Amino acid sequence: MSTAGPDPSDLDRIANAALARVESGMLLGLGTGRASEAFIRRLGERVRRGLQIKGVATSERSEALARRENIPTVSLEEVERLHVAVDGADEVTPDLGLIKGLGGALLRERVVAYEAAQFIILVTPEKLVEKLGSRVPIPIEVVPFAVTTATRHLTALGGKPSIRKNADGYPFQTDNHNWILDTAFGPMDAPAAVDARIRSIPGVVDTGLFLDMATLVLVADPGAVRELTRQR
């Protein structure tokens, strides 16, 4: 997978558009990844100018960044409901189906997003696809004990699973101490059915398929921000 990132000015533009939807007194979910980090930095600027908010981070990395930005953070057990969760995505379809998890925080991102009244996604245009699975594999979080058997069952489903590894060649571990099988299925006509079959495999903790969750997608078009909403 390419490590080349989007233009920082594009990320800043959509981060500022998301920030326009934040008001004092809100509880926010803070996502993980480049777009989310741009939002956290812009949010930190506003907090230092007096904005009163608290954030729940979806990863240890985002938690550390929020603290560096002087953003007050709380744990999920300290809140009953979040007003808004802001995160990125690796693919977005016209019906706002998502693939997430290339940053490795998919499980915590799902938990936080589920607790939010609004789930706002920040992306650059290359993330827009007609069908999920067109440009990236599905990250699948698996308990280490079950990696071998899960690999076999994912292959039987038609996937091509690969253990995600760090630069040192050792398996990548999530903040939950699980492993990730990046599994290519190709463009999917029925992602919900694929998701259900993956989840039926013992040892699978979560998948990167986020379906019927996003309420708004902000796209960094050249010099502008495009808004995509889910059609009900």
In this structure, how many other beta carbons lie within 10 angstroms of the beta carbon of residue 71? Answer: 24
Q: In terms of C-beta density within 10 A (0-12 exposed, 13-18 middle, 19 or more buried), how is residue 67 classed?
A: middle
pLDDT of residue 4: 60
- Whether 69 sits among the annotated catalytic residues: the reply is no
Q: What does the CA dihedral 108, 109, 114, 118 come to, rounded to 10 degrees?
A: 150
Going residue by residue through the chain (232 aa), what tens digit of pLDDT does each one get? 444 678 889 999 999 999 999 999 999 999 999 999 999 999 999 999 999 999 999 999 999 999 999 999 999 999 999 999 999 999 999 999 999 999 999 999 999 999 999 999 999 999 999 999 999 999 999 999 999 999 999 999 999 999 999 999 999 999 999 999 999 999 999 999 999 999 999 999 999 999 999 999 999 998 899 999 976 5
Task: Give the Cα separation of 104 and 82 in Å (integer).
Answer: 22
Q: Of residues 37, 63, 91, 109, which has the active-site annotation?
A: 109
Q: In terms of C-beta density within 10 A (0-12 exposed, 13-18 middle, 19 or more buried), how is residue 118 classed?
A: middle
Which DSSP string corresponds to 138-179?
A: EEEEE-GGGHHHHHHHHHHTT-EEEE-B-TTSSBP--TTS-E
Q: Are 62 and 32 in contact (CB under 8 A)?
A: yes
Q: Are 22 and 84 in contact (CB under 8 A)?
A: yes
- pTM of full prediction above 0.85: yes
